Chains A and B, each alone.
Chain A
Amino acid sequence: LAKTTQPISMDSYEGQEVNITCSHNNIATNDYITWYQQFPSQGPRFIIQGYKTKVTNEVASLFIPADRKSSTLSLPRVSLSDTAVYYCLVIGDNQGGKLIFGQGTELSVKP
């Protein structure tokens, strides 16, 4: 199974762009990279998913280099409400549809 490594915590200020990098050195050819967000006292929520290059939606952007051994979640102009834990996951054949959550990155946005 592809193991992911990401920073335990990050601090930011309102209005800044936040980039959270995740490493997944043993990602398999058919694996996808998925990010979930979890607010306190709530279940995780899907943010974005990608296979290679760049993916953008209304919430975030996901940058994946050619070797796919890492990925970066980019949150533009964060606000206090973006304070949450962000999980990077790899999903594919080896996981059989399962989501294996790591420790995640606890993002704290300050005024």
Chain B
Amino acid sequence: DAGVIQSPRHEVTEMGQEVTLRCKPISGHNSLFWYRQTMMRGLELLIYFNNNVPIDDSGMPEDRFSAKMPNASFSTLKIQPSEPRDSAVYFCASSHSLYSGSGDEQFFGPGTRLTVL
């Protein structure tokens, strides 16, 4: 299995531009998670989906952020307009199910390093 695939791996953009990050979860996984990691705030959960349906988006910082999962094999995280404070590494993770009592292991992608100038 190729694992969780994220693209692009690096993105440099200017303030005000739209940024779209992409994620392909592991085949057969029903849950997908988007995280953001910065030195100041650590690793934060932004939003997660179960069976393509958003379950909790309380971690999304503001309306400039949106996420979609049109099918089981693809998700996007969009920032419009982007700001310098959005610079971070964005991780996508997937798991078999949202919660199976003990909690399913989450498999993380390599991340997208976003720099907003």
Contacts and interface: CB of A to CB of B under 8 A. Distances in A.
Interface of A: 30, 32, 34, 38, 41-46, 49, 51, 87, 91-93, 95-104
The range of chain B's interface size is 20 to 34
B-side interface mostly: strand
A-side interface mostly: loop
A91 B98 CA distance: 11
B108 A96 contact: no
Nearest to A46: B105
Given A43-B91, A46-B105, A96 B110 contact: no
Interface of B: 4, 31, 33, 35, 42-45, 48, 50, 55-56, 91, 93, 95, 97-99, 101-111
Contact of A43 (B48, B103, B109): B109
A43 B93 contact: yes
Contact of B43 (A30, A32, A41, A44): A44
B43 A101 contact: yes
Contacts of A45: 108
B48 A98 contact: yes
A34 B106 CA distance: 11
A46 B42 contact: no
A32 B45 CA distance: 19
A49 B98 contact: no
Contacts of A93: 99
B106 A46 contact: yes
Contact of A99 (B55, B101, B106, B109): B106
